[in-house]
Amino acid sequence: MPLDALTLVSRIIDRAAHKAGQSMGPAAMVLDEDQRLELMVDALAGQLLGFLGANNAPQAAPHPDAPSELERLCAEQIERNAVLAGALGACACWGEVPTCPECAGRGTVAWRRPDRAAFDRFVRPVVQRLHQRSAHRQHRPPVGANGTGVRTQ
């Protein structure tokens, strides 16, 4: 059965999406479906251009052990997620993965004692700012308190 180019590309994308869905863990699920599709299309387009010899600029082959830009970004986001979860006393899965080997899906916020350094870095400044704003609002005179009907600062 002869295939036109569009059908072939569609089948390749469908197969890649199927395989990627099987091999991606929860961290990759932060990308929505359109973003994952765009990443796959870009990767396939680059590979196709390389296969056809149609890419304009010769590119040096990356070192086999060197992580791709996407892998590097994902690793940074996974690490940031783990630090923020620790700051709030949550598991890195946030209690959303029932099969998590660490918390079995129970690791929501305050599941364990927060990591002190991460809490001081990320959470304490927010709490302090909220307290400052609350205190500032409590000390404002009510509208019209100065006799003008205009709030004073």
**Is 41 in the same domain as 88?**
no
**How many domains is the chain partitioned into structurally?**
2
The three state secondary structure string of the chain is CCCCHHHHHHHHHHHHHHHHHHHCCHHHHHCCHHHHHHHHHHHHHHHHHHHHCCCCCCCCCCCCCCCCHHHHHHHHHHHHHHHHHHHCCCCCCCCCCCCCCCCCCCCCCCCCCCCHHHHHHHHHHHHHHHHHHHHHHHCCCCCCCCCCCCCCC
**Is 83 in the same domain as 133?**
yes
- pLDDT at position 28 is 45
**Is 91 in the same domain as 40?**
no
Amino acid at 22: Q
Q: Cα–chain-centroid distance for residue 102?
A: 21
Give the range of the structural domain holding residue 4, as residue numbers without chain letter: 1-21+29-55
* 69 domain-assigned: no
* 14 domain-assigned: yes
The string of pLDDT tens digits covering residues 116-142 is 999 999 999 999 999 999 888 887 666
pTM for the model: 0.47
- Final residue of a domain: which of 55, 70, 101? 55
* 61 domain-assigned: no
- Give average pLDDT by consecutive 10-residue segment, the chain, 153 residues: 60 66 47 64 69 61 72 91 96 94 95 96 94 83 56 50
As given in the structure block, the two tokens for residue 111 are: 């599941």
| Separation in Å, CA 89 to CA 34, 85, 102 | 32, 6, 13
- pLDDT at position 72 is 86
